[in-house]
């Protein structure tokens, strides 16, 4: 945290002339691109670090999936099926998935179509509005859920074991704060 704070203090306290600044674009077209130390460069930019950790966690999930002979699927499929499993007593629609996972309609459509082709879910019309399709897990989807939950729990235990209990609590608090602020 100290390094990030120092970086931004340096950025905002920089007293350089135009000739000393690093040019990031053609100044004749867009003068706003002139920065002494552009904040988007450097290895410790928060979004870049989050993305790197996300990629490593996905690799770990896939490793546990291979070790447990779970059919190849993305972790997002597992999370969506888990959501459907937890909410199997209430109607769930595509828009619920979009909201829950903060993903676009087109992305959800593609994921659900693939899950339907694999036999994990069915889409059923609802009596009050034929345009709405309720998402329902099949028996095969329930079986897939149970296998993927094992992989997710193994990954969660592994990642949580890398930090102390206090660090885990603080990390979750900060990630939830970021998620809420970005929505």
Helix (H, G, I), strand (E, B) or coil at 30: coil
Q: Which long-range contacts (CB under 8 A, 24 or more apart) does 18-26 make?
A: none
Taking the model in full, what pTM does it have?
0.57
What local confidence, expressed as pLDDT, does residue 131 receive? 85
What local confidence, expressed as pLDDT, does residue 104 receive? 95
Q: Residue 123: how many CA atoms within 13 Å on its side-chain side?
A: 15
Tokens 């053609």, located at residue: 26
What's the pLDDT tens digit per position in 99-112?
Answer: 999 999 999 999 99
Map out the domains of the chain with their CATH numbers. Answer: 46-182 (1.10.10.10)
Six token digits for residue 18: 């135009």
List per-block mean pLDDT (blocks of 10 residues) for the chain, which spans 183 residues: 49 42 46 56 78 92 85 81 94 95 94 94 90 93 88 92 96 95 90
What local confidence, expressed as pLDDT, does residue 80 receive? 94
What local confidence, expressed as pLDDT, does residue 36 receive? 59
Q: Residue 137: how many CA atoms within 13 Å on its side-chain side?
A: 22
């Amino acid at each position: 945290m100290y390094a990030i704070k120092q970086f931004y203090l340096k950025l905002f306290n920089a007293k350089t002339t135009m000739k000393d600044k690093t040019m990031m674009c053609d100044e004749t077209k867009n003068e706003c691109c002139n920065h002494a130390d552009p904040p988007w460069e450097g290895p410790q930019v928060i979004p870049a670090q989050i993305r790197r950790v996300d990629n490593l966690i996905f690799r770990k999930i896939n490793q546990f999936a291979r070790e447990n002979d779970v059919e190849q699927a993305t972790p997002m499929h597992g999370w969506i099926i888990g959501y459907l499993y937890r909410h199997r007593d209430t109607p769930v629609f595509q828009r619920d998935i979009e909201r829950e996972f903060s993903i676009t309609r087109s992305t959800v459509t593609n994921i659900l179509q693939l899950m339907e082709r694999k036999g994990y879910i069915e889409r059923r019309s609802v009596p009050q509005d034929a345009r709405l399709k309720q998402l329902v897990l099949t028996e095969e989807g329930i079986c897939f859920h149970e296998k993927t939950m094992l992989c997710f729990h193994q990954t969660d235990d592994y990642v949580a074991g890398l930090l102390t209990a206090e660090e885990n609590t603080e990390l979750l608090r900060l990630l939830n704060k970021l998620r809420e602020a970005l929505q």
